[in-house]
Structure 1
Amino acid sequence: MSQDKKVAIVTGSAVSLGNAIATRLAKDGFRVVLQDISQENLDKAKKEFDNQGFESIAVVGDVSKRDDQFNVVKEAVKAFGKVDVFVNNAGVESVEPFLEIEEKEIDRVFNINIKGVIFGTQVAAEQMKTQDSVGKIINACSIAGHESYEMLSLYSATKHAVRSFTHSTAKELAQYNIRVNAYCPGVADTPMWERIDAAFVEHKGYEPKQAWKEFTQGILVGRPQEPNDVANLVSFLASDDANYITGQTILTDGGMVFR
């Protein structure tokens, strides 16, 4: 096995956006570590990677648990000898009026969206510090990390935290030749947006799909986001072409939010 090929870990990569990112990195020539909380989804993703001839391993894990995050890097190093790129992709949304948010929901969303990124960044940095190469940590932010949306107060708060954390860790880890950046997706036709639309119907008296239409009608490029739109940005940030970029939270939303 060639040690020249780079190694990428992508959390939450069994389905949806995370899977699109992992697939793109595999096509770019990375050996990929798939990580997800669902063993069933992970098995399906691993089988598809095997069918396409990609070099990969699959590690089940919960990003909100520090031991699981450290384990995925341990397994990556055991299999491939190093970690060049760590993508903190796993995350969850929360859609409800602020006054109705319960403590258990705060804990759920903060544990995954913030603790997961913190633990992933810690373990990735500890490994990358030992390597004689440029390390890349790439975080999942959002347009909700630049703009705060009603009905998405909790989610927006976590993504603002990820944005700030990206800035701070880029400053602290620069001395170790580690770059830290984030990708900020916009509006995609996903199960998450079905839940957002349903919440607007339930709590604000919207018609079905009204929220979706309001959010998407102003996108300058004229269409909602697709998974590959985000995977393309992550591919660039993971590449040597992005070695001079750090501490940035880059919007890939088709022209919605301007910062």
Structure 2
Amino acid sequence: MKIDNAVVLVTSAGSRVGGTLATHFSSLGAKVILCDTDKRLLNETYERCALLNSDTYRFDVEDYSIASIKQLFELIEHQLQCSPDILINTLTSKAVPNIFDHAAYDMFSLNLTSLASALFGFGQATAQRMRAENKCGVIVNVIGYTNYEDMAGFDNASSFVSGFTQSWAKELTPFNIRVGGVIPSGEANGQNWSEIQDEVIRNTEYIISNEYFSGRVMAA
């Protein structure tokens, strides 16, 4: 797929990994649509992207519930008269609570539920539109983290990305929709993000550009 002619939706665009990828694809000339629940971080990413490409748009969402995601896509279609050709489905791993913490079960369940629902919700909404419009689209699931402590939840996030990527690829291949995943090295931490961001960018761009890539996860 030619990125400079594509409509790219970047979720959690205010996060470190989302902002990194949004800035890169803006520099390549794509129409980039940014969304996040954090208005301040979303605006920071938008300002960086807009300096590189005027064809950049932002939408803040209340949360990543199915209702909010549905409303987001309706706004995009109404205001921009388009839908994504490429979904950069970014998520941030969260630290696993201490097993001896009395609130550990509720916290762990909430973290996993929010992680899975966001990943699945955006993937489903995008795939439905790609199929309805007969698009040869691409979905790339990418993991990020905010600090070293979050690496404790990295395995959980990696499992979600690997599982969804493989199962979605099987379902969507008949509709010419490809799915890939990018997982930064588990040995990395917040202090050396600059050392791995180039690999995250390179792998994500490779998945999008390689028409034969689907159903696999690349390590950055």
Identify the residue that residue 212 of structure 2 maps to in structure 1: 244
Q: Which runs of 5+ in 1 are unaligned?
A: 143-150, 194-215, 217-222, 253-259
- Write the letter of the residue equivalent to 1:124: T
Tell me which of 232, 239, 243 is aligned to 2:202. 232
Instruction: State the Cα deviation string for residues 220-251 of structure 1 (Å, max 9, x = none).
Output: xxx97332321221122222xx1111100111
Deviation, structure 1 residue 66: 1.1
Identify the residue that residue 17 of structure 1 maps to in structure 2: 17
Identify the residue that residue 43 of structure 2 maps to in structure 1: 43
Task: Describe the shift of the 1:224–1:27 C-alpha distance in structure 2 as closer, same or farther (beyond 3 A).
Answer: closer
- Asked which structure has the greater CA Rg, the reply is 1
TM, length-normalised to structure 1: 0.72
Identify the residue that residue 104 of structure 1 maps to in structure 2: 106
Query: How far apart in 1 are the matches of 2:62 and 2:99?
Result: 26
Task: Describe the shift of the 1:17–1:233 C-alpha distance in structure 2 as closer, same or farther (beyond 3 A).
Answer: same
Query: How far apart in 2 are the matches of 1:133 and 1:64?
Result: 24
Secondary structure at the aligned position of 1:89 is classed as strand
Aligned pair 1:61/2:61, yes or no?
yes
CA contact (8 A) 1:73 1:83 kept: no
Aligned pair 1:86/2:87, yes or no?
yes
Instruction: State the Cα deviation string for residues 20-50 of structure 1 (Å, max 9, x = none).
Output: 1011111222111111111112122222222
- Pick which of 20-29 and 226-235 moved more: 226-235
- Write the letter of the residue equivalent to 2:70: F
Task: Describe the shift of the 1:15–1:169 C-alpha distance in structure 2 as closer, same or farther (beyond 3 A).
Answer: closer
- Write the letter of the residue equivalent to 2:34: L
- Write the letter of the residue equivalent to 1:83: P
Query: How far apart in 2 are the matches of 1:107 and 1:121?
Result: 21
Structure with more helix by fraction: 2
- Write the letter of the residue equivalent to 1:231: I
Query: How far apart in 2 are the matches of 1:93 and 1:32?
Result: 26
CA contact (8 A) 1:135 1:179 kept: yes
Identify the residue that residue 196 of structure 1 maps to in structure 2: none
CA contact (8 A) 2:97 2:108 kept: no
CA contact (8 A) 1:28 1:235 kept: no
Aligned pair 1:179/2:178, yes or no?
yes
Secondary structure at the aligned position of 2:5 is classed as coil
Query: How far apart in 1 are the matches of 2:99 and 2:32?
Result: 38
TM, length-normalised to structure 2: 0.83
Secondary structure at the aligned position of 2:108 is classed as helix
CA contact (8 A) 2:98 2:104 kept: no
Query: How far apart in 2 are the matches of 1:185 and 1:44?
Result: 23
Identity %: 19
CA contact (8 A) 1:188 1:224 kept: no
Deviation, structure 1 residue 181: 0.8
Q: Which runs of 5+ in 2 are unaligned?
A: 145-150
CA contact (8 A) 1:59 1:72 kept: yes
CA contact (8 A) 1:21 1:235 kept: no
Aligned length: 211
